[in-house]
Amino acid sequence: MSIRRIDPHAERIRRNRLHPRHHEFARPAWRWTSADGVTRINPHVLGAIGPNGVKRIDRSGASVEPSSVSASQVSAELTRRQVVIAEPAGYVLVVPELAEGRLSDHDRDLFGLARQLADEHQLAVTAVTFDSAVNGLEEAGADRWLDLSVGFEESAENGAYCPEVRLAGLERIEAALAPAHWLFADTFPGGGDLGRRLAARLSILSDGAEGERAATRVWQVADGKSLSRAGDRQDIQRDVPRVLLALPECAEPISETLHEARPMTLDVSMVALDIDAGLIDTGLIDRGRVAVDPQQIPLAQAPFILSAGRGIGDWEGYHHAARVLGASEGASRVAVDDGNMARTRQVGATGTFVSASCYIAVGISGAVQHLQGIAKCQRVIAINSDPSCDMVKRADLAIIADGDAVLAALCERLGQPRAADEPREELLHDAA
């Protein structure tokens, strides 16, 4: 026996012809619940007249009828509830990783954890970034936003490793806001490094024997206790400390609410002055990235992979293209079985699961095993002559063309045609 439920809000709108959403609810319903709880269906308002003049009721939902009710449902799904915390009782600070300048899944999980800690006590989740161009903090769940890049432009150019300078900024925030919690992503050498530095600094500052120790590798917070992974297959359960370094999937990301991410200002110019005067002895100098041979990077970690399959005929041209692009080489199973590539280069369920940020598949049709292997790749580009293959469906950018010709043209456009690479061989071939 089901309970009959009435939405009083909808009823009121239905009665009020002047309500802006009246038309959404006043549409003649094809299904309703009668007063005694029985579901009634009016078949006359259902369905559409088919091409041969017969009325069809399509229950599979394949033909989308333009019904305003379902449209309103869709919009109700997409709109999130706006949450504004005007006067917070305190702050929970989140320092997102922001790899490549955007919020990662790990960062969203962190914000979810922060909301979990903040919502009980009306605290404001505050994002601390060292980058002014960040999008999506509202959806991620930040009430406030502290951008530290303002005072740090000279000392910390984009992406340089300067943990001591950042630490000085965080200390300033600590002194000004006295946040309830600090949340970092436990990854090296990003948030895990900065968070541990801050935890070590705070444990000394709040002297008196020793301060509270940070919880690292936190994977769950429940009932006021945090669970963190320790060594030797053990978990540590303890009261939630002030500094938490959390693993991925530590909490569910925010999906139902929208927050304001209001920019906050804090006088960090003092820190900048300190740095200019060289008062913060960093002891660390970043000498920049080192060029790594892309072929030496383990395939599972490689950021950029040019992968070849059966569609490649000119293998020298392919290797040359990989060199020109600076990409690691990958291969499908067919290319490996045919002896064109080494077994260690095979991508897929029977080879290596790759996690490249860009994966270019040349002449690979996309067997299921191969698609499983590239499931974690962020951007997939397919170059294939068959427009109906699975790889084209998977790809973010698909080019329907011959792989060899495109790679040759690519090298030419980048200023390194292959003829210049091996002129003698080419000449001999031409002569023959």
Partner 1 sequence: MMPRDDANALSVIALVSSGRHPVSGRAGRAREDARAVEMGLALAGSALKLAHAGAADDGALRECLEAYLGMFHGLEDDRPGELSLLALKSEDASADDAVPALARWLADSGAQLVLTGQRAECGEGSGMLPYLLAERLGWAVVTGIAAIEQVDDDKATLLQALPQGQRRRLEVSLPCLIAVDAVAPAPRQSAFGPSRRGRISIVDGVEASPDLPRGAWQFQPARARPKRLKVVKSTNARDRFKAAAAKSSASGGQVLTDLTPDQAADKLIGYLRKEKILREEKVLTSVEEKTNADQ
Site for partner 1 in 123-182 (CB under 8 A): 161
Number of residues that bind partner 1 (CB under 8 A): 101
Crossing angle (nearest 10°) for helices 269-276 and 163-177? 150
Task: Name the token pair of 81.
Answer: 């509830």
398: contact with partner 1 by CB under 8 A:
yes
Q: Residue 379 — φ and ψ, nearest 5°?
A: -125, 130
Query: Within positions 30 to 59, which residues make up the interface with partner 1, using CB under 8 A?
Result: none
Are 411 and 420 contacting, i.e. CB atoms less than 8 angstroms apart?
no
The dihedral through the CA atoms of 112, 113, 116, 118 has a sign that is negative
The one segment of 39-47, 129-137, 172-180, 294-302 that binds partner 1 by CB under 8 A: 294-302
Q: Residue 247 — φ and ψ, nearest 5°?
A: -80, 165
Comparison of 123 and 410: residue with beta carbon closer to partner 1:
410
Task: Name the token pair of 276.
Answer: 């200019």
Are 144 and 261 contacting, i.e. CB atoms less than 8 angstroms apart?
yes
Query: Within positions 224 to 243, which residues make up the interface with partner 1, using CB under 8 A?
Result: 227-239
301: contact with partner 1 by CB under 8 A:
yes
Are 124 and 91 contacting, i.e. CB atoms less than 8 angstroms apart?
yes
Comparison of 72 and 350: residue with beta carbon closer to partner 1:
72
Hunting for tokens 């091409």 — which residue is that? 51
Are 329 and 308 contacting, i.e. CB atoms less than 8 angstroms apart?
yes
Comparison of 102 and 310: residue with beta carbon closer to partner 1:
102
**Rounded CA separation 380/396 (Å):** 5
Q: Could you say which of 65, 396, 422, 425 contacts partner 1 (CB under 8 A)?
A: 396
Are 118 and 124 contacting, i.e. CB atoms less than 8 angstroms apart?
yes
Task: Name the token pair of 267.
Answer: 């006088």
Query: Within positions 244 to 283, which residues make up the interface with partner 1, using CB under 8 A?
Result: 249, 252, 255-256, 282-283
In the complex, the smallest distance separating the C-beta of residue 337 from partner 1, rounded to whole angstroms, is: 26
10: contact with partner 1 by CB under 8 A:
no
Are 250 and 105 contacting, i.e. CB atoms less than 8 angstroms apart?
no
Q: Could you say which of 297, 310, 314, 353 contacts partner 1 (CB under 8 A)?
A: 297
Q: Could you say which of 153, 157, 286, 316 contacts partner 1 (CB under 8 A)?
A: 286
Q: What is the identity of the amino acid at 204? A: I
In the complex, the smallest distance separating the C-beta of residue 111 from partner 1, rounded to whole angstroms, is: 16
Comparison of 56 and 413: residue with beta carbon closer to partner 1:
413
Query: Within positions 311 to 340, which residues make up the interface with partner 1, using CB under 8 A?
Result: 323-326
- Residue 95: which residues within 8 A CB-CB, separation 6 or more? 127, 128, 129, 170, 182, 183, 184, 185, 191, 194, 195
The one segment of 127-135, 140-148, 266-274, 411-419 that binds partner 1 by CB under 8 A: 411-419
285: contact with partner 1 by CB under 8 A:
yes
SS3 89: coil
In the complex, the smallest distance separating the C-beta of residue 109 from partner 1, rounded to whole angstroms, is: 9
In the complex, the smallest distance separating the C-beta of residue 172 from partner 1, rounded to whole angstroms, is: 18
Q: Could you say which of 219, 260, 262, 274 contacts partner 1 (CB under 8 A)?
A: 219
In the complex, the smallest distance separating the C-beta of residue 231 from partner 1, rounded to whole angstroms, is: 3
Q: Could you say which of 289, 339, 424, 432 contacts partner 1 (CB under 8 A)?
A: 289
- Residue 275: which residues within 8 A CB-CB, separation 6 or more? 152, 154, 155, 165, 168
Comparison of 157 and 249: residue with beta carbon closer to partner 1:
249
28: contact with partner 1 by CB under 8 A:
no
In the complex, the smallest distance separating the C-beta of residue 406 from partner 1, rounded to whole angstroms, is: 5
Query: Within positions 340 to 359, which residues make up the interface with partner 1, using CB under 8 A?
Result: 355, 357-358
SS3 315: helix
The one segment of 32-40, 48-56, 140-148, 205-213 that binds partner 1 by CB under 8 A: 205-213
The one segment of 87-95, 262-270, 331-339, 381-389 that binds partner 1 by CB under 8 A: 381-389
Are 333 and 367 contacting, i.e. CB atoms less than 8 angstroms apart?
yes
Measure the CA angle with vertex 327, ends 108 and 400; round to 5°. 90
